[in-house]
Structure 1
């Protein structure tokens, strides 16, 4: 199979549909934390705003400037993140990294929709973009918790 055919398969209709319908694209006013992450390899960026309540994501906003794979990951994260804890987000982040790098299983619910990105395992240059949404959200939750403790 040619590289071009593999790349076409990677950008499945499901991935493209997710990329076209990203939830929570409105930035939050007065968030508890804001984190911007950038993939140095491709230049994709995601900025995440969170407001927390009782250690959970109460409100979420994101600005996504990424490839279709990064957009698809942001769509899954955006659809699942409300009500989750920092631990759930960090677990999903670690499971996503293992899925991409070590052929591990898809992340646990509610982030199990990230399974759609399994075909990207063979495209290491895309991994950083796929990880942006969970990396930024995890860091934002950490910052929000630290602000609550200050």
Structure 2
């Protein structure tokens, strides 16, 4: 399945560019490199193929220390969400509340993210999302598009 996503190259709507991750030499560089290409690249255990958390070093299922970063589907559902009421000069540039979303991805991973576009409402648990990317200080990072256009039947999470 191919899902068209957008990467906004303008200043990020939520955070100061100084908070951008340093992608060179970062253990999560495959995530950022994939995001720059419009792909969601996440870690899987080499031995048993279980999805791993981003910074997980050892597989909980088989004990392997080897991981393989590969592209995953850009669809998921909201597992939980909250509306953050935090204004912090020099870090958070948004001036209104913003959502923080725990997304359960179709490929088995879960990621915490916000939305591609500014919104002051939190999505409902169970809402479908498409994963796109925001650009923070020149680094692409995953973000959710809430209430996407209806997905075709093959793309449903």
Shorter-chain TM-score tier: under 0.3
What's the TM-score, normalizing by structure 2?
0.26
- Structure that is richer in helix per residue: 1
Mark the structure with the bigger radius of gyration.
2
What's the TM-score, normalizing by structure 1?
0.26
- Structure that is richer in strand per residue: 2
